[in-house]
Amino acid sequence: MISYWNYLGDYGRRREEILRIVDRVFSSGRLILGGEVESFEKRFSSFCGVPFGVGVNSGTDALFLGLKALGVGDGDEVITVANTAVPTVAAIRATGATPVFVDVEEKTYLMDASLIRPAITGKTKCVLPVHLFGQAADMDAIAAVAAPAGLRVLEDCAQAAGALYRGRPVGGIGDVGAFSFYPTKILGAFGDAGMVVTKDEGLYRKVRRLRFYGMEQAYYSEEEGYNSRLDEVQAALLSFALSNLKEAVRKRRELAARYSEGLRGIGDVGLPEVCEDRTHQFYAYTISTGRRDELMRFLKECGIETKINYPAPVHVMRGYAFLGYRPGDLPVTEKMAARMLSLPLFPDLLPAEVDEVVDRITAFFRTGGRRGRA
């Protein structure tokens, strides 16, 4: 079986180091909001090119608290995309605001900045682009619309830690950047974790209060807040992972290049578009094909695990039917949702395994998708 994602190989190699880190934290006498969190906040915010970072419980909380810090609340609207994970939209709804969806670019699957201006109303408070699959949205084009309209920009960086847009790290380009460190992410913890980063000290202090019941000192709330704390163990492990991130991303890019070389010109297969002015971290290697479901079944038969990100855009999910969207409202998003398939990609994936996936996809299109191995 070729897994879509697996951390066990990396854990096996680094097990002694990881357990030493865990033991160090457990032996410190401090498990919540201590020196490990402070150290990682400083290291990661610097990595993003900004002075401030606040460790929180998850990427969803990072989005929610970032929006709250920007003043988003009941009656407001947030412009975003439906080609994303549900947490992006769930975080908007948790503030009491309403998501307003715009379509994406067909080549990159990223927010189409040309559609933002027509979506702005008197209720619009924020634009929330999603840096999908490891590549940044067109942030300058987004800012060119948002800034004159007085709108704040929150970057959903859950899948793109370390990605660059015209030389600038994602997360530090808009007003706020929200990161997820869910285990599968480019920079992953051993459980849930997230961070908010910003260059604005006022927003930084606001998020710090909000993550801990609105408190600046123990047992006294300055404002209504929440409980969303990054714990010491995850912070220490993330700091260790950050030290190894450059090598991990190098491997991801090499494997992605191997996929692209092998799949170019094969059947009805569209390959990921890498924009010249950006880097791609390849959180996922996502192809497109009109025979997606058949290909997925064929690969499963061959012992290859794949994934669909995302089979149903948020705007047509039953859980968000109350927003009033209908099939056909976002034609590019809906078209790509029916075509996208993510292939196995993680740092420990072997080049030979990539070649095996390429061979099976080639065989699928050569044989017309007949069942069985090539």
Between CA 221 and CA 216 the distance in angstroms is 7
Q: Structure tokens of 47?
A: 């990595």
Answer yes or no: is 270 within a domain: yes
Q: Last residue of a domain, which of 195, 227, 243?
A: 243
Name the H helices within the chain. Answer: 8-26, 35-47, 59-69, 86-94, 116-119, 139-146, 201-210, 232-243, 245-263, 292-301, 331-337, 351-367
pLDDT in tens, 71-114: 999 999 999 999 999 999 999 999 999 999 999 999 999 999 99
Identify the pLDDT of residue 368: 79
Q: Residue 139's pLDDT band (boundaries 50, 70, 90)?
A: very high
Q: Percentage of residues in the chain with pLDDT exceeding 90?
A: 97
Cβ-contact 81, 108 below 8 angstroms: no
Between CA 119 and CA 310 the distance in angstroms is 23
Does pLDDT of 168 surpass 50? Answer: yes
Are 62 and 187 in the same domain? yes
CA-CA-CA-CA torsion for 190, 193, 196, 197, nearest 10 degrees? Answer: -10
Answer yes or no: is 149 within a domain: yes
Please report how many Cα atoms fall inside a 13 Å half-sphere around the Cα of residue 283, on the Cβ side: 23
Considering only CA atoms, which of 98, 72, 96 is closest in space to residue 320? 98
Between CA 338 and CA 357 the distance in angstroms is 21
Q: Structure tokens of 229?
A: 């704390």
Are 177 and 320 in the same domain? no
Between CA 127 and CA 151 the distance in angstroms is 7
Are 87 and 38 in the same domain? yes
Answer yes or no: is 254 within a domain: yes
Are 195 and 146 in the same domain? yes
pLDDT in tens, 260-277: 999 999 989 999 999 999
Are 125 and 266 in the same domain? no
The Cβ of residue 373 has, within 10 Å, a number of other Cβ atoms equal to: 10
For 153-169, what is the mean pLDDT? 98
Identify the pLDDT of residue 373: 45
Mean pLDDT of the chain: 96
The CATH code of the domain that includes 89 is 3.40.640.10
Answer yes or no: is 345 within a domain: yes
For 204-213, what is the mean pLDDT? 98
Q: Last residue of a domain, which of 223, 243, 263?
A: 243
Does pLDDT of 13 surpass 60? Answer: yes
pLDDT in tens, 313-357: 999 999 999 999 999 999 999 999 999 999 999 999 999 999 999
Are 260 and 221 in the same domain? no
Identify the pLDDT of residue 267: 87
Conformational region of residue 361, where left means phi above 0, alpha means psi within -120 to 50, and beta covers everything else: alpha
Answer yes or no: is 12 within a domain: yes
Are 215 and 360 in the same domain? no
Does pLDDT of 372 surpass 50? Answer: no
Q: Structure tokens of 199?
A: 């260059």
Structurally, how many domains does the chain consist of?
2
Identify the pLDDT of residue 56: 98
Are 41 and 59 in the same domain? yes
The CATH code of the domain that includes 281 is 3.90.1150.10
Are 206 and 253 in the same domain? no
Identify the pLDDT of residue 371: 57
Are 152 and 300 in the same domain? no
Residues near 209 by beta carbon (within 8 Å), at least 6 away in sequence: 215, 216, 222, 223, 225
Q: Residue 352 sits in which domain range?
A: 245-365
Q: Last residue of a domain, which of 224, 243, 262?
A: 243
Answer yes or no: is 230 within a domain: yes
Answer yes or no: is 374 within a domain: no
Amino acid code (one letter) for 48 = C
Answer yes or no: is 85 within a domain: yes
Identify the pLDDT of residue 286: 98
Are 72 and 214 in the same domain? yes
Consecutive H or E run containing 220: strand 220-221
Are 232 and 251 in the same domain? no
